[in-house]
């Protein structure tokens, strides 16, 4: 689900930027900025972190009853993804990179929720504020030099393996032979 979400967002963002700026080839790259190719004139989209969504409370096992049987499934995990969008452009194309980053921000603001084909709920997108210290630490962890960037939180990513924990029979009073 994580890869599918990032691929969908990357493809939609790339289509938008190509149309808006009349580009002939894709400009969005779904991978981190590498230190050896720090200015490859691309807008990079990559995963920075995952966290459990706690706003919905603690999830419990789901129990489905069908006729005289029940099925118990593990709870669905709700995750938030922190995604960085960074413009890695050379000195001569720095202005173009800023325009594309502005275009990416405009796209995300206008499309602050998007749907995945087989997901029941949409994915919400919101910008994340970082202090200069947090930003410096993040780019240090990423192992490269700073590039103009926007950190976004993608909310409501459901992870459900569909595994069944337990299947059992429902016993009625008539089957036990005990009268009330």
Reduced to 3 states, what is the DSSP secondary structure of residue 149? strand
Predicted TM-score of the model (pTM): 0.81
Q: Is 18 left (phi over 0), alpha (psi -120 to 50) or beta?
A: alpha
Residue 178 lies in a domain: no
* 47, pLDDT greater than 90: yes
In a domain, 108, yes or no: yes
In a domain, 177, yes or no: no
Q: Is the pLDDT of residue 117 over 80?
A: no
The pair phi, psi for residue 101, each rounded to 5°, is -65, -40
Which residues form the domain of 105? 2-172
Neighbours of 84 (CB within 10 A): 21
Average pLDDT of the segment spanning 85-105: 96
Number of structural domains (the chain) is 1
- Report yes or no on 180 lying in a domain: no
What is the model's pLDDT at position 15? 97
68 belongs to a structural domain: yes
Per-residue confidence band for 119, with pLDDT thresholds at 50, 70 and 90: low
pLDDT tens for 132-142 read 999 999 999 98
């Amino acid at each position: 689900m994580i890869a599918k979400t990032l691929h969908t967002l990357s493809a939609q963002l790339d289509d938008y930027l190509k149309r808006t700026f009349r580009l002939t080839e894709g400009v969005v790259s779904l991978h981190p900025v590498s230190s050896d190719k720090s200015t490859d004139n691309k807008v990079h989209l990559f995963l920075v972190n995952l966290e459990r969504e706690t706003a919905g409370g603690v999830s419990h096992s789901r129990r489905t009853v069908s006729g005289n049987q029940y099925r118990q499934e593990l709870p669905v995990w709700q995750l938030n993804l922190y995604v960085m969008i960074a413009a890695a452009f050379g000195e001569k194309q720095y202005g173009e990179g800023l325009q594309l980053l502005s275009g990416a921000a405009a796209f995300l603001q206008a499309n602050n929720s998007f749907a995945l084909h087989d997901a029941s709920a949409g994915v919400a997108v919101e910008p994340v504020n970082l202090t200069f210290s947090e930003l410096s630490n993040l780019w240090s962890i990423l192992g490269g030099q700073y590039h103009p960037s926007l950190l976004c939180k993608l909310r409501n990513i459901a992870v459900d393996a569909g595994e069944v924990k337990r299947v059992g029979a429902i016993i009625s009073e008539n089957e036990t032979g005990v009268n009330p």
